[in-house]
Amino acid sequence: MLPKSFIFPWRIAIGLLILTSAIAPLALNYYVRLVTSNYLRTDVAEVSAKPIAIVFGAGVWEDGTPTPILADRLQAAVDLYKAGRASKLLMTGDNSSPDYNEVKAMQEYAEAQGVPTNNIILDYAGFSTYESCYRAKEIFGITQAVLVTQNFHLPRAVYTCRQLGIQAIGLGTPDWGKFDQNTMIACSVREFFAVLKALWQVRVTRPKPTFLGPFEGIK
């Protein structure tokens, strides 16, 4: 049997390890919010003009129309465009199968609101926030942009793009209080862990996106 003087320090060490494991993810999420806080906006009038606004996909219904969360992002981007805060819109989303096309739905929404087709750029391989930011820089040559998404997602999006070489600011659209509580709880839990993954990707692994392809640029 081990003496008490030997067991006690190990109990402290295990307790500290458990405590650190619980606190570290919270601290990392706070860190991302803190370092992006100066780049986050909630009003179109507060956004300085940029060459392009990047709109992140957020799902479409079976009939091909945007979900309410995506529709809110799109409307905010259209408002930016009409206010002269963005000259073009980059729609980035998932078109991984013929019967699922986020970017087409995004394009149609913006066109219906009066945005000319030649001012809408489509990224069919934006399968994640990381891949969308990576491709925006490497495929489309974007170095400055306004990112449009809900407030809960905005810090991660801005952090990711800035770490990948885009001078990004963000326009956040309402989430808590607008969408039902269960939806927002699910989104917030997912976002908590997505921030940790984003930190790992941009600070450690820097993986290539699923698809790259030739440089296209934006005229």
pLDDT per residue of the chain (219 residues) written in tens, 0 to 9: 445 554 456 666 565 556 566 678 899 999 999 999 999 999 999 999 999 999 999 999 988 899 999 999 999 999 999 999 999 999 999 988 888 999 999 999 999 999 999 999 999 999 999 999 999 999 999 999 999 999 999 999 999 999 999 999 999 999 999 999 999 999 999 999 999 999 999 999 999 999 998 998 887
Distance CA 97, CA 35 (A): 37
Please give the C-alpha separations between residue 145 and each of 9, 26, 67, 139, 219, in angstroms, as whole numbers: 52, 28, 24, 14, 15
Dihedral, CA atoms, 146, 170, 70, 176, nearest 10 degrees? -170
Going along the chain from its start, the domains and CATH numbers come out as: 4-205 (3.40.50.620)
How far, in whole angstroms, is CA 190 from its chain's centroid?
12
